[in-house]
Chain A
Amino acid sequence: MEGEEGSKFELEVISTSGVYKTPFSLIILIQLFIGGFVLFIVNLWFINSLYYLLTGIELYSVGLKAEWYYWLLLPLNIYGNIFLFVFTVILFSGGIFRILNKISPPREGIFERGSKEWKYMHRRFWTAYFPIWLARALPLPWLDIIAYRSFGTRVGRSVVLYEGYVDPLFVEIGDFTMTSLNICIFSHLIYQDKLLIKRVKIGKACVVGPHTIIAPGTIMEDFAVLGVNSYTKINQKLEGNLIHVGTPVSITLPIQSVEESQHKAVKVKESTIFDNTSQKKTDSHLQEE
């Protein structure tokens, strides 16, 4: 962040958008075709036996003879087909993603609209779109994490990432973090015909509350908590072992254990019952603690 532009970004506090222009729909068509092709080839042997089941004629000389238990295996086949399709699409688009990274290696910084970085970020975005859409459409919750890992994002062990928008590049998520519903983690932002790309780091065992936006350049230290419905500034640092709340984040609160907070609540109750008149005393008593 150098020069006038950088200072302006810091003044403006918060990102304006999280979408690139014009979808690169052709790449989705190619991914669909590759997935369908692999599905077709793998299925040939099963269709062979199915044809035999229906008509009694052998289609190919090489093939399995149909038995009665094949009908029991049919639903398994359909479900397996879905997973085969998803995994091939994820692997293939991960390959495309790496090739795009080789052609123009991703950099952090501020770029003009229509520059090479802009174009390639936009292509990477749309290659990542379809596999993660597919992974989110299936009932397995860990599938989208595998998709993210195939694009090279660092996602730690036992991370909760069921929902929300996460950029595939320049995002690091530590072990045991939990993200809630409807969150956005941006490593890019579009501001006045300029594109800013900055790395986002989320530490170990963090909690990202629902309806939050994490702007590019934020660093969450280990055990930090981001409160509900708040968003972070660009290049903001959230300290560990604290709760951060605000739009943008400005208030910090200590994390209390359940026993501690209950103990305090009980003390307040007792004081109000027995000492209704001397409210100030109890307050000072609490402050001392």
Chain B
Amino acid sequence: MFQPVSLKGNSPTPIDERIRKKFLILYIVIIILSLIPTSLFEFWYITLFWSETYFWIFFIALPFNVFLSIYLIQLSAILISVLFLKIIILIHNPKEGNFKRSIEDRDYYFWTLRNIVKKWPLYVTASNPFPWLKNRFTLRFYGVKIGKKTICDNSWISSEFVSIGKNVIIGMNSTILSFAIEQDNIILKKIKVDDNVLIGAKCVLLPGTIIKRNTKLSAHSYTNHNQVLEENSIYRGHPAKLKENN
């Protein structure tokens, strides 16, 4: 539906065109490596069941085979990208802070490289009928902390520097951005959402916001950089202001 077509895409991972050109081969290698397990599985399936005695199993199990192969592609894509990501993090550890948006800046360079590695698995898992697979399953592999019983399926969440507590509801179309591009600078800062928080539809959280326990952010509002929303209260507006404090 429910998810609009424009939101079906992967979570926000902007990639610099200058750096994308250098790592095009890496991107293609990730795609091909993630397709190998499924091709092996299909080969096994056909050699086992394509015979005169077992042909009926071949046809009956064909729909299951199709769905299984789709999920195999998604799982292997996630695992391979995590492997590449670990290697990249060994070379350069991700840091928070303000950086220049040029190729010489090492932090910006490796930030975009990480985004290139995450692009394909996020794209594949986004086009999946099961709503929990895009955010709650894949983002946990990339180190995003998402607590138990949270709902964040129809929202855009950055794949780094985000931690979400238990029992949180994040509404339709709301975005959580741990990065901001301002002219020639890029800002990376951690976003923290505590337990039992309710974020409404179409909210935008900018980098550095901290939402403490039991607060409610009303729909169609956004937070400033480094804003702290206090406990047990309701916030609303552009940018969010205190409305009610219990």
CB distance from A198 to the nearest CB of B (A): 15
Total interface residues on A, using CB and 8 Å? 48
* A12-33 near B? 1/0 per residue, CB < 8 Å: 1111111111110100100010
Contact status A130-B219, CB under 8 Å: no
Q: Does A247 contact B (CB under 8 A)?
A: yes
Contact status B219-A192, CB under 8 Å: no
Contact status B149-A22, CB under 8 Å: yes
A47 / chain B contacts, CB cutoff of 8 Å: 59
Q: Does A39 contact B (CB under 8 A)?
A: yes
Give Cα A227 to B190, complex, Å. 34
CB distance from B66 to the nearest CB of A (A): 8
* B27-68 near A? 1/0 per residue, CB < 8 Å: 000000000000000000000000000010001101110010
CB nearest neighbor in A for B216: A16
B2 / chain A contacts, CB cutoff of 8 Å: 128-129, 132-133, 165
Give Cα A25 to B129, complex, Å. 10
Give Cα A137 to B126, complex, Å. 12
A181 / chain B contacts, CB cutoff of 8 Å: 4, 6
Knowing A165-B173, A181-B6, say if A134 contacts B200 (CB, 8 Å): no
Q: Does B107 contact A (CB under 8 A)?
A: no
Q: Which listed residue (A17, A168, A213, A247) contacts B169, Cβ 8 A?
A: A17
Contact status B219-A231, CB under 8 Å: yes
Give Cα A20 to B1, complex, Å. 14
CB distance from A113 to the nearest CB of B (A): 11
Contact status B171-A18, CB under 8 Å: yes
A59 / chain B contacts, CB cutoff of 8 Å: 55
Contact status B60-A21, CB under 8 Å: no
How many A-B contacts at CB < 8 Å in the complex?
Answer: 127
Contact status A40-B62, CB under 8 Å: yes
Contact status A182-B4, CB under 8 Å: yes
CB distance from A118 to the nearest CB of B (A): 13
Q: Does A176 contact B (CB under 8 A)?
A: no
Give Cα A13 to B3, complex, Å. 25
Interface size grouping (class) on chain B: 35 or more
Contact status A133-B129, CB under 8 Å: yes
CB nearest neighbor in B for A131: B1
Chain B facing A: main interface SS: loop
Q: Which listed residue (B64, B67, B169) contacts A190, Cβ 8 A?
A: B169
Give Cα A209 to B29, complex, Å. 43
CB distance from B3 to the nearest CB of A (A): 7
Contact status A162-B219, CB under 8 Å: no
A163 / chain B contacts, CB cutoff of 8 Å: 4-6
Give Cα A21 to B217, complex, Å. 17
Q: Does A164 contact B (CB under 8 A)?
A: yes
Give Cα A15 to B234, complex, Å. 12
Q: Tell me the B202-246 residues at the A interface (CB within 8 Å).
A: 202, 216-220, 234, 236, 238
Give Cα A217 to B234, complex, Å. 22
Contact status A21-B219, CB under 8 Å: no
CB distance from B226 to the nearest CB of A (A): 23
Most chain A CB inside 10 Å of its own CB: which residue of B132, B169, B199:
B169
Give Cα A213 to B219, complex, Å. 9
Knowing A17-B171, A17-B219, A21-B149, say if A32 contacts B4 (CB, 8 Å): no
Chain B contact residues, CB within 8 Å of chain A: 1-8, 55, 59-60, 62-64, 67, 127, 129-132, 149, 151, 153-154, 169-173, 198-202, 216-220, 234, 236, 238
Additional 20 contacts, C-beta under 8 A, given A15-B219, A32-B67, A213-B219: A13-B236, A14-B219, A14-B236, A15-B201, A16-B171, A17-B219, A18-B172, A19-B154, A19-B169, A23-B130, A23-B131, A25-B132, A32-B129, A133-B2, A133-B3, A136-B5, A165-B172, A182-B7, A182-B173, A213-B202
